[in-house]
Amino acid sequence: MATAILRRTLISLNPNNSIIRSLSPYATVATATAAQPQPDATSSSFTFSSDQNDDSNKDNNATGDEIYIKARKPAPSTSVTMPMSFMTGSIVGKRFYKQVTTRPADDGIGWSVMLDYRTLKTPSKRPLKCHTLSLAKAIAAEWEYQLTDGIRPFTMPLMKLACTALERVPLTRTKIIDNLMIRFNRDLVFCRAPVDNVLTRDVYELQVKKIDPLLKWVESEFGFKPVVYSSFFGGKQEDGLVNAIENVLKKTNDNELAAIDALASASHSLIISIAIFHGRLQIDEAIELIRLEEDMQVEKWGLVEGVHDLDIADLKVQISSAVVFLGLTKRF
Protein backbone atom coordinates (compact mmCIF):
# COMPACT_ATOMS: atom_id res chain seq x y z
CA MET A 1 0.00 0.00 0.00
CA ALA A 2 2.88 2.36 0.78
CA THR A 3 4.20 1.87 -2.74
CA ALA A 4 0.80 2.73 -4.18
CA ILE A 5 0.63 5.89 -2.09
CA LEU A 6 4.10 6.96 -3.19
CA ARG A 7 3.10 6.23 -6.78
CA ARG A 8 0.26 8.77 -6.48
CA THR A 9 1.95 11.63 -4.62
CA LEU A 10 3.85 13.76 -7.21
CA ILE A 11 1.75 13.51 -10.37
CA SER A 12 0.07 16.89 -9.85
CA LEU A 13 2.98 18.76 -8.26
CA ASN A 14 5.03 20.39 -11.06
CA PRO A 15 5.47 17.95 -13.95
CA ASN A 16 8.08 20.20 -15.53
CA ASN A 17 10.37 20.24 -12.49
CA SER A 18 13.72 18.50 -13.08
CA ILE A 19 13.85 16.81 -9.67
CA ILE A 20 10.38 15.37 -10.03
CA ARG A 21 11.17 14.18 -13.56
CA SER A 22 14.28 12.40 -12.30
CA LEU A 23 12.33 10.29 -9.80
CA SER A 24 11.71 6.69 -10.82
CA PRO A 25 8.18 5.29 -11.24
CA TYR A 26 8.23 4.17 -7.58
CA ALA A 27 8.15 7.84 -6.58
CA THR A 28 5.42 9.07 -8.95
CA VAL A 29 2.32 9.66 -6.88
CA ALA A 30 -0.76 11.90 -6.81
CA THR A 31 -1.61 14.51 -4.20
CA ALA A 32 -4.83 14.91 -2.32
CA THR A 33 -7.06 17.81 -3.30
CA ALA A 34 -5.93 20.89 -1.40
CA ALA A 35 -9.34 22.43 -0.88
CA GLN A 36 -9.31 25.28 1.59
CA PRO A 37 -11.36 24.89 4.82
CA GLN A 38 -14.50 26.93 5.33
CA PRO A 39 -13.74 30.45 6.62
CA ASP A 40 -15.94 29.97 9.66
CA ALA A 41 -14.57 26.53 10.54
CA THR A 42 -13.18 26.24 14.05
CA SER A 43 -9.53 25.25 14.12
CA SER A 44 -8.91 22.25 16.32
CA SER A 45 -6.27 19.56 16.15
CA PHE A 46 -5.57 15.90 15.60
CA THR A 47 -2.88 13.96 17.37
CA PHE A 48 -1.93 10.39 18.24
CA SER A 49 -2.31 9.28 21.84
CA SER A 50 -2.45 5.92 23.57
CA ASP A 51 -3.02 6.82 27.20
CA GLN A 52 -6.69 7.75 26.91
CA ASN A 53 -9.53 5.45 27.97
CA ASP A 54 -12.74 4.88 26.11
CA ASP A 55 -14.67 7.42 28.19
CA SER A 56 -12.23 10.19 27.43
CA ASN A 57 -12.53 9.38 23.73
CA LYS A 58 -16.27 9.86 23.93
CA ASP A 59 -15.83 13.16 25.74
CA ASN A 60 -13.71 14.50 22.93
CA ASN A 61 -16.77 14.69 20.73
CA ALA A 62 -18.26 17.12 23.20
CA THR A 63 -15.22 19.37 23.62
CA GLY A 64 -14.07 19.36 19.98
CA ASP A 65 -10.56 20.01 21.21
CA GLU A 66 -8.47 16.95 20.31
CA ILE A 67 -9.16 13.45 19.06
CA TYR A 68 -7.35 10.54 20.64
CA ILE A 69 -6.93 7.15 19.03
CA LYS A 70 -6.58 4.27 21.42
CA ALA A 71 -3.62 2.04 20.54
CA ARG A 72 -3.52 -1.70 21.12
CA LYS A 73 -0.86 -1.34 23.81
CA PRO A 74 -0.54 1.55 26.26
CA ALA A 75 2.33 3.91 25.56
CA PRO A 76 3.37 7.40 26.67
CA SER A 77 1.24 10.01 24.98
CA THR A 78 4.10 12.38 24.22
CA SER A 79 7.59 11.73 22.91
CA VAL A 80 10.30 13.37 20.84
CA THR A 81 10.55 10.14 18.81
CA MET A 82 8.03 8.40 16.62
CA PRO A 83 5.73 5.94 18.43
CA MET A 84 6.36 2.29 17.62
CA SER A 85 3.03 2.09 15.80
CA PHE A 86 4.48 4.45 13.21
CA MET A 87 7.26 1.97 12.45
CA THR A 88 5.38 -1.32 12.52
CA GLY A 89 2.26 -2.83 11.03
CA SER A 90 -0.04 -1.64 13.80
CA ILE A 91 -3.46 -0.16 13.04
CA VAL A 92 -4.06 2.72 15.42
CA GLY A 93 -7.75 3.34 14.87
CA LYS A 94 -10.54 3.64 12.31
CA ARG A 95 -10.61 6.51 9.85
CA PHE A 96 -12.71 9.18 11.55
CA TYR A 97 -12.37 12.04 9.05
CA LYS A 98 -13.96 12.64 5.65
CA GLN A 99 -11.89 15.33 3.98
CA VAL A 100 -8.14 16.05 3.92
CA THR A 101 -7.02 19.54 2.93
CA THR A 102 -4.05 21.88 3.26
CA ARG A 103 -3.90 25.49 4.35
CA PRO A 104 -1.29 28.10 5.35
CA ALA A 105 0.05 27.62 8.88
CA ASP A 106 -1.37 29.83 11.62
CA ASP A 107 1.86 31.85 11.83
CA GLY A 108 1.91 32.36 8.08
CA ILE A 109 5.16 30.39 7.72
CA GLY A 110 4.70 27.03 6.05
CA TRP A 111 1.65 24.84 5.51
CA SER A 112 -0.59 22.67 7.66
CA VAL A 113 -2.56 19.51 6.86
CA MET A 114 -6.19 19.49 7.93
CA LEU A 115 -8.31 16.43 8.72
CA ASP A 116 -11.75 17.95 8.29
CA TYR A 117 -11.38 21.04 10.55
CA ARG A 118 -8.60 19.63 12.75
CA THR A 119 -4.94 20.51 12.34
CA LEU A 120 -2.68 17.48 12.04
CA LYS A 121 -0.11 17.23 14.84
CA THR A 122 3.07 15.28 15.46
CA PRO A 123 3.29 12.49 18.07
CA SER A 124 4.47 15.04 20.65
CA LYS A 125 1.43 17.21 19.88
CA ARG A 126 3.22 19.93 17.94
CA PRO A 127 1.56 21.22 14.75
CA LEU A 128 2.99 19.37 11.77
CA LYS A 129 4.15 22.40 9.80
CA CYS A 130 5.56 21.74 6.32
CA HIS A 131 8.00 24.19 4.73
CA THR A 132 6.52 23.68 1.26
CA LEU A 133 3.01 23.26 -0.08
CA SER A 134 4.21 20.26 -2.12
CA LEU A 135 5.17 18.34 1.02
CA ALA A 136 1.91 19.27 2.76
CA LYS A 137 -0.09 17.97 -0.22
CA ALA A 138 1.93 14.76 -0.32
CA ILE A 139 1.30 14.09 3.37
CA ALA A 140 -2.36 14.96 2.83
CA ALA A 141 -2.42 12.31 0.07
CA GLU A 142 -1.10 9.71 2.52
CA TRP A 143 -3.98 10.48 4.88
CA GLU A 144 -6.51 10.67 2.06
CA TYR A 145 -5.68 7.13 0.91
CA GLN A 146 -6.14 5.56 4.33
CA LEU A 147 -8.83 2.88 4.38
CA THR A 148 -12.06 3.25 6.30
CA ASP A 149 -11.39 0.19 8.47
CA GLY A 150 -8.23 1.63 10.03
CA ILE A 151 -5.37 4.13 9.94
CA ARG A 152 -2.08 2.43 9.03
CA PRO A 153 0.81 4.75 9.92
CA PHE A 154 3.36 2.41 8.32
CA THR A 155 1.87 3.36 4.94
CA MET A 156 2.76 7.03 5.54
CA PRO A 157 6.56 7.26 5.08
CA LEU A 158 6.51 10.97 4.22
CA MET A 159 4.59 11.73 7.43
CA LYS A 160 7.20 9.76 9.37
CA LEU A 161 10.12 11.59 7.75
CA ALA A 162 8.47 14.98 8.30
CA CYS A 163 7.95 14.25 12.01
CA THR A 164 11.52 12.97 12.32
CA ALA A 165 12.91 16.12 10.70
CA LEU A 166 10.74 18.35 12.87
CA GLU A 167 11.24 16.66 16.24
CA ARG A 168 14.11 14.17 16.39
CA VAL A 169 16.80 15.72 14.20
CA PRO A 170 17.01 19.12 15.97
CA LEU A 171 17.44 17.36 19.34
CA THR A 172 19.87 14.65 18.24
CA ARG A 173 21.68 16.12 15.20
CA THR A 174 25.17 15.53 16.61
CA LYS A 175 24.34 11.97 17.63
CA ILE A 176 22.87 11.17 14.21
CA ILE A 177 26.01 12.40 12.44
CA ASP A 178 28.27 10.53 14.87
CA ASN A 179 26.36 7.28 14.31
CA LEU A 180 26.57 7.68 10.54
CA MET A 181 30.32 8.28 10.70
CA ILE A 182 30.92 5.33 13.04
CA ARG A 183 29.56 3.02 10.34
CA PHE A 184 31.30 4.83 7.49
CA ASN A 185 34.44 2.66 7.43
CA ARG A 186 32.22 -0.43 6.98
CA ASP A 187 30.30 1.12 4.10
CA LEU A 188 28.75 -1.32 1.63
CA VAL A 189 30.55 0.14 -1.40
CA PHE A 190 33.99 -0.29 0.20
CA CYS A 191 33.55 -4.06 0.68
CA ARG A 192 34.81 -6.44 -2.01
CA ALA A 193 34.20 -10.15 -2.40
CA PRO A 194 37.46 -12.19 -2.41
CA VAL A 195 38.84 -12.36 -5.95
CA ASP A 196 40.84 -15.54 -5.30
CA ASN A 197 37.77 -17.65 -4.45
CA VAL A 198 35.92 -19.40 -7.26
CA LEU A 199 32.61 -18.98 -5.41
CA THR A 200 32.94 -15.21 -5.11
CA ARG A 201 34.91 -14.28 -8.22
CA ASP A 202 31.76 -13.44 -10.20
CA VAL A 203 30.55 -11.18 -7.40
CA TYR A 204 33.90 -9.39 -7.32
CA GLU A 205 33.82 -8.78 -11.07
CA LEU A 206 30.28 -7.39 -10.85
CA GLN A 207 31.29 -5.11 -7.96
CA VAL A 208 34.20 -3.75 -9.98
CA LYS A 209 31.92 -3.10 -12.94
CA LYS A 210 29.04 -1.49 -11.05
CA ILE A 211 30.58 0.10 -7.93
CA ASP A 212 33.97 1.35 -9.16
CA PRO A 213 32.37 4.19 -11.18
CA LEU A 214 30.78 5.44 -7.95
CA LEU A 215 34.12 5.27 -6.13
CA LYS A 216 35.72 7.27 -8.94
CA TRP A 217 33.01 9.89 -8.44
CA VAL A 218 33.84 9.99 -4.72
CA GLU A 219 37.52 10.57 -5.53
CA SER A 220 36.64 13.32 -8.01
CA GLU A 221 34.08 14.97 -5.71
CA PHE A 222 36.03 14.91 -2.45
CA GLY A 223 39.67 14.57 -3.59
CA PHE A 224 40.47 11.29 -1.81
CA LYS A 225 40.53 7.76 -3.24
CA PRO A 226 38.42 5.34 -1.19
CA VAL A 227 40.08 2.21 0.20
CA VAL A 228 38.42 -1.10 -0.66
CA TYR A 229 38.76 -4.24 1.47
CA SER A 230 37.53 -7.82 1.79
CA SER A 231 37.24 -8.01 5.58
CA PHE A 232 33.84 -8.28 7.28
CA PHE A 233 35.21 -5.95 9.97
CA GLY A 234 35.74 -3.13 7.50
CA GLY A 235 38.80 -1.01 6.88
CA LYS A 236 40.00 2.51 7.53
CA GLN A 237 39.49 5.38 5.11
CA GLU A 238 41.79 8.37 4.85
CA ASP A 239 41.11 11.09 7.39
CA GLY A 240 40.64 13.57 4.57
CA LEU A 241 37.75 11.59 3.09
CA VAL A 242 36.20 11.02 6.52
CA ASN A 243 36.33 14.75 7.28
CA ALA A 244 34.91 15.66 3.87
CA ILE A 245 31.93 13.35 4.29
CA GLU A 246 31.34 14.59 7.83
CA ASN A 247 31.36 18.20 6.60
CA VAL A 248 28.66 17.33 4.07
CA LEU A 249 26.46 16.05 6.89
CA LYS A 250 27.11 19.06 9.10
CA LYS A 251 26.03 21.46 6.34
CA THR A 252 22.64 19.78 5.82
CA ASN A 253 19.41 21.19 7.13
CA ASP A 254 17.10 19.07 9.30
CA ASN A 255 15.05 17.74 6.37
CA GLU A 256 18.15 16.75 4.41
CA LEU A 257 19.78 15.01 7.37
CA ALA A 258 16.57 13.08 8.13
CA ALA A 259 16.45 11.87 4.52
CA ILE A 260 20.16 10.94 4.40
CA ASP A 261 19.85 9.04 7.69
CA ALA A 262 16.85 7.12 6.33
CA LEU A 263 18.69 6.36 3.09
CA ALA A 264 21.78 5.16 4.94
CA SER A 265 19.68 2.92 7.17
CA ALA A 266 18.00 1.32 4.17
CA SER A 267 21.10 1.03 1.96
CA HIS A 268 23.79 0.30 4.58
CA SER A 269 25.85 2.87 2.72
CA LEU A 270 26.49 6.52 3.52
CA ILE A 271 28.26 6.89 0.16
CA ILE A 272 25.17 5.76 -1.75
CA SER A 273 23.03 8.10 0.38
CA ILE A 274 25.24 11.12 -0.31
CA ALA A 275 25.44 10.19 -4.00
CA ILE A 276 21.63 10.30 -4.11
CA PHE A 277 21.66 13.58 -2.20
CA HIS A 278 24.11 15.09 -4.72
CA GLY A 279 22.14 13.77 -7.69
CA ARG A 280 24.84 11.28 -8.74
CA LEU A 281 22.53 8.26 -8.33
CA GLN A 282 18.88 7.84 -9.24
CA ILE A 283 16.54 5.51 -7.35
CA ASP A 284 16.88 2.54 -9.71
CA GLU A 285 20.67 2.86 -9.79
CA ALA A 286 20.91 3.00 -6.01
CA ILE A 287 18.69 -0.06 -5.55
CA GLU A 288 20.76 -1.99 -8.08
CA LEU A 289 23.97 -1.27 -6.12
CA ILE A 290 22.38 -2.10 -2.78
CA ARG A 291 21.04 -5.45 -4.02
CA LEU A 292 23.99 -6.35 -6.23
CA GLU A 293 24.95 -9.60 -4.52
CA GLU A 294 21.38 -10.59 -3.58
CA ASP A 295 20.15 -10.14 -7.15
CA MET A 296 23.01 -12.29 -8.42
CA GLN A 297 21.99 -15.03 -5.99
CA VAL A 298 18.33 -14.71 -7.02
CA GLU A 299 19.31 -14.98 -10.69
CA LYS A 300 21.31 -18.10 -9.95
CA TRP A 301 19.07 -19.92 -7.46
CA GLY A 302 15.67 -18.33 -8.00
CA LEU A 303 13.39 -15.94 -6.11
CA VAL A 304 11.66 -17.08 -2.93
CA GLU A 305 8.15 -15.65 -2.93
CA GLY A 306 7.16 -14.00 0.32
CA VAL A 307 10.80 -13.29 1.17
CA HIS A 308 12.86 -11.83 -1.66
CA ASP A 309 9.95 -10.02 -3.27
CA LEU A 310 8.92 -8.42 0.03
CA ASP A 311 12.50 -7.35 0.73
CA ILE A 312 12.69 -5.72 -2.69
CA ALA A 313 9.35 -3.93 -2.27
CA ASP A 314 10.29 -2.68 1.19
CA LEU A 315 13.63 -1.35 -0.06
CA LYS A 316 11.95 0.44 -2.96
CA VAL A 317 9.52 2.15 -0.58
CA GLN A 318 12.26 3.24 1.83
CA ILE A 319 14.57 4.61 -0.85
CA SER A 320 11.81 6.19 -2.95
CA SER A 321 10.08 7.89 -0.02
CA ALA A 322 13.34 9.46 1.18
CA VAL A 323 14.14 10.72 -2.33
CA VAL A 324 10.61 12.08 -2.73
CA PHE A 325 10.89 13.76 0.67
CA LEU A 326 14.15 15.44 -0.39
CA GLY A 327 12.52 16.77 -3.54
CA LEU A 328 9.36 18.00 -1.82
CA THR A 329 11.21 19.90 0.91
CA LYS A 330 13.21 22.02 -1.53
CA ARG A 331 12.00 25.55 -2.16
CA PHE A 332 12.17 26.10 -5.91
Tens of pLDDT, residues 101-150: 999 998 888 999 999 999 999 888 888 999 999 999 999 999 999 998 88
Query: Quick one: DSSP state of residue 237?
Result: -
Strand-pairing partners, residue 134, are none
Domain 79-153 is found in CATH 3.30.2180.10? yes
Give the residue with greater pLDDT, 288 vs 77: 288
Note the pLDDT tens digit of each residue in 233-257: 778 899 999 999 999 999 999 999 9
* Residue 17: per-residue pLDDT: 47
Burial class (CB in 10 A: 0-12, 13-18, 19+), 72: exposed
Residues 45 and 126: their CA atoms lie apart, in Å, by 10
Burial class (CB in 10 A: 0-12, 13-18, 19+), 204: middle
pLDDT at 301 over 90: no
Note the pLDDT tens digit of each residue in 26-64: 344 333 333 333 333 333 334 443 333 444 344 444 444
Edge-first strand listing for the sheet containing 118-120: 66-67, 44-46, 118-120, 111-115, 100-104
Query: Quick one: DSSP state of residue 114?
Result: E
Note the pLDDT tens digit of each residue in 308-332: 889 999 999 999 999 999 999 986 5
Q: Region 159-171: what's the mean pLDDT?
A: 95
* Residue 319: per-residue pLDDT: 97
Average pLDDT of every residue of the chain: 79
Domain ranges of the chain: 79-153, 172-329
* Residue 262: per-residue pLDDT: 97
- Residues making up the chain, counted from first to last: 332
Confidence of residue 219 (pLDDT cuts 50, 70, 90): very high
The percentage of residues in the chain with a pLDDT greater than 70, rounded to a whole number, is 72
* Residue 300: per-residue pLDDT: 85
- Tally of CB atoms within 10 A around 29: 26
* Residue 83: per-residue pLDDT: 44
pLDDT at 276 over 90: yes
* Residue 307: per-residue pLDDT: 85
The three-class DSSP label of residue 1 is: coil
* Residue 28: per-residue pLDDT: 40
pLDDT at 21 over 90: no
Residues 121 and 112: their CA atoms lie apart, in Å, by 9
CB-based contact 124:77 (threshold 8 Å) = no
Rg of the chain (C-alpha set): 22
Residues 136 and 159: their CA atoms lie apart, in Å, by 9
The three-class DSSP label of residue 74 is: coil
Choose among 109, 217, 95, 193: nearest CA to 148. 95
Q: Region 208-228: what's the mean pLDDT?
A: 96
* Residue 160: per-residue pLDDT: 94
Question: Out of 3.90.1170.10, 3.50.50.60, 1.10.3580.10, 3.20.10.10, which CATH number does the structure's domain 172-329 have?
Answer: 1.10.3580.10
pTM reported for the whole predicted model:
0.74
CB-based contact 160:82 (threshold 8 Å) = yes
* Residue 332: per-residue pLDDT: 53
